[in-house]
Amino acid sequence: MNKIRQIEKLNQTELDNVTPPNASWHTDYRDTAYIYIGGLPYNLSEGDIVVVFSQYGEPVWLKLARDKESGKSKGFAWLKYEDQRSCDLAVDNLNGAMVLGRKISVDHARYKVRDDEDMNMYMVPKAGEESDEEGRVKKRIGRKEMDLTPVMTDDESENRERRRERRRSSLN
């Protein structure tokens, strides 16, 4: 929470002082297109994160931290945009945003690749790439498969089903 407030305060100070873009705190991160995302709901998939963050640019790489044994999300991730300027937009607009009832933190990052890490394993597929028979977009690289299908909460699926029933009854 403190980090979110600090970033909001920095942004407000820049607005109040009419800081030019070349003097912005964002310029310290012009050499990286990575962002850190914290406070994510645990049931979000890679696809959900891509959907949320693609509002501000083209994500090309995403690593959602997962428990090694269970494979469950740890609630934080790193994302790389195709264009670095998208990072500024995402940090300014999504830091402190509510996602499924949780306030997320978004900040610039300098991601360091581990020696044993394969960067290709976390590449985000472009729109229109391979999809299975259920319409889920998948990216298969090596042994890992990245599911990019948005997760629906129970309430959302119930609401969708009710709307379908109403449409069916109004057509009859």
150 contact partners, CB below 8 Å, separation of at least 6: 45, 47, 48, 51
**pTM, 2 dp:** 0.64
Q: Which residues of 25-54 are buried (b: 16+ CB within 10 A; e: fewer)?
A: ebeebeeebbbbbbbbeeebbbbbbbebbb
> 81 is written with which tokens?
């945009």
Residue type, 15: L
pLDDT of residue 118: 75
- Alpha-carbon span 68 to 62, nearest angstrom: 17
Tens-binned pLDDT, residue by residue, of the chain (172 aa): 577 777 777 767 777 777 776 666 566 667 788 999 999 999 999 989 999 999 999 999 999 999 989 989 999 999 999 998 898 889 888 988 999 999 999 998 888 878 777 777 788 877 655 544 444 444 443 444 555 555 555 566 677 777 777 777 777 6
Q: How far is CA 162 from CA 149, 153, 165, 167, in A?
A: 22, 14, 5, 9
Superfamily of domain 2-171 in the CATH hierarchy: RRM (RNA recognition motif) domain (3.30.70.330)
Q: How many angstroms separate the first and last alpha carbons of the chain? A: 52
Structural tokens at position 63? 């690593």
